[in-house]
Chain A
Amino acid sequence: MSAIDVPSNGVTPDFRILPVGDTAISVEFGDSISRETNQKVLDLAAGIEAAGISGIVETAATFRSLLVMRDPTQISFEALARAISAIPRKTTLRGTAARTWRIPVCYDRAVAEDIEEVAARVGVSSDEFASIHASVAHHVYMLGFLPGQPYLGDLPERISLPRRLAPRAKVAAGSVGIAMRMTCVFPRESPCGLNVVGRTPAPLSARALDGAPSLAPGDGVRFRPITLGEFERLAGEASAGASILELEAPAPSVQAT
């Protein structure tokens, strides 16, 4: 079974449709991570939803591809590939649809195992690192691996560094890790190869599982630095059921260039 190249304008192939067994297809836009590519993925997801193709079970956006799950007894690979290729491609004006979440993060070394080492390696103080990390408008590329676990980008080049050589067997729930140009928030205690630079008291996983509004691909995220004392206070509120996550007031729309 070979991939199907689909030209977007009759000349240049824009995405490839790859078979993922008989229960899914992967619509792949290139092989690198960029906001532009991720936006194409999200636009196609919206287009598929609007088209209401029967036999599609769900779609799941990842960095550069859209996984489209299907019931193979309802729609064949060929029919689904054709239907997806026929979906009108429109480009969202970036900034118009996305929500921005504000997530409190404590960058104190008491809960951020690697912050001092990371700051030293990129040549800033821990406080400077925190203020740079918190000043970035992060974009939710995808959720995956564990329920409610977001992959966020893009970290400024000057504070980025590779994964840890030796992954940790365990980091605490809420750990904020960085590697390359990505930031990840671990909703549960889990093994981790990233550099842990902070911890949030926000229960990302619980919100997703309770069906409450929560982070979705395409959303924006800003981190709000908090003190260790505030972290402990908010963690207490979170365990009593508070959501901790805040939505920012919608930003004025920005035209894509």
Chain B
Amino acid sequence: MTPALRVLNPGPHSSLQDLGRPGYQRMGVARGGALDGLGARAANALVGNRAGTGVVECILAGFAFALEAEGARVAFFGGRAPVRVRSSTRRDIGPAEVGRTMKLSRGDVVEVGTISSSSTLYMAVEGGFRVAPRLGSVSTDLRGGFGGFEGRLIKAGDLLPLALDDVPDAETMVLQGVDLAVPGKLRVVEGPQAGHFSIVERDRFFSSTYALASSSNRMAAKLVGPVLAHAGGFNIVSDGMVPGSIQVPGDGSPIVLRSESQTTGGYPKIGVVISADLPALGRAPVGAALSFERVSMAQAEAAAREFAALARSLPDRVVPARERDVAALLSTANLISGVVDASA
């Protein structure tokens, strides 16, 4: 039998994602990939996968599955969420929580509840999922209806095929020094159409606080707050867009494109969120208060190098859980947010 995860409850918005498919924008194909690329990389690092391995991205709440394989090592990373494991073998698999590897056995059921402190949660499984890449990626392109698992959100009853049927036992690992908080400020480089707004309107944008609208999704974060007036018209000849582009349509409410951005658009773009802050933009939950800080191109490029260094360092930040648990006991912090129920 093909090793797989059987989806029991898909959660509100779960899909397979990786770090996206660059190289096809000329064909109208979005780069796509994980909303929070840092969360996806961190989950993969925990189970020893390379950074671009496919993971399950959950938005708003987690999902529930049963393991239909001999054994699997999984890890969640992202926002806080209750993790509950019902062990089929009544084994003690240790505390179940986000940020900590778990070795599962056939029949084990994992349930992840509502995500708080962030909108996204990633689950990596050692070896990854066995799905055919489309255009070099296993990311699900929801607008295009392709990639990932059948080009759609996962649903109850799906069997997500795994690359490995079993993995050897190994120490439980945790990730140190990676903070997936949602910063209130995102850094922005002005342009390409900042000139379509007066200096006063640009200053208004950079001095205002916006709330993330509930209509936001993987394609775009819609902002509620002060509207911006265009200096001229609000239609431009459609041009290319990248994730992070902040377009201002006719109603003056800014829209920040996310990883599954449309590839072209005809509204003026006042600025673009820098690449180092795209993971934070991706994990910002509905209602989050966001403001935008103007930075120079040199600052943006320095931040990109810092982010690349952080991403490269992730495998080195994975350490045995017992080391951190001892430290935690000493500081009396309660790190156990999940429950293991071996009575199932």
Contact = CB atoms under 8 A, between A and B. Distances in A.
A22 B297 contact: yes
Given A1-B296, A3-B191, A146 B304 contact: no
A24 to B, nearest CB: 5
A209 B263 CA distance: 15
B248 to A, nearest CB: 15
A67 B272 contact: no
B218 to A, nearest CB: 15
Interface string B92-119: 0000000000000000000000000000
A73 interface: yes
A76 B301 contact: yes
A147 B240 contact: no
Interface stretch (A6-14, A120-128, A210-218, A242-250): A210-218
A62 B240 contact: yes
Contact of B145 (A24, A32, A188): A188
Interface string A18-31: 11111110101001
Interface residues of B, number: 47
Interface in A143-192: 143-149, 151, 188
A60 B25 contact: yes
Contacts of A63: 237-239
A133 interface: no
A99 to B, nearest CB: 15
A51 B240 CA distance: 22
Nearest to B262: A145
Contacts of A20: 191-192, 240-242, 245, 269, 272
Interface in A51-80: 57-67, 69, 72-73, 76-77
A109 B118 CA distance: 49
A33 B237 CA distance: 7
Contacts of B303: 22
A164 to B, nearest CB: 16
Nearest to A211: B135
Interface of A: 1, 3, 18-24, 26, 28, 31-33, 57-67, 69, 72-73, 76-77, 142-149, 151, 188, 205, 208-209, 211, 214, 216-217
Given A62-B240, A64-B237, 6 more contacts: A26-B240, A62-B238, A63-B237, A142-B264, A148-B29, A209-B134
**Pairs of residues from A and B, 4 with the lowest C-beta to C-beta distance, nearest first:** A67-B240, A21-B272, A144-B264, A18-B192
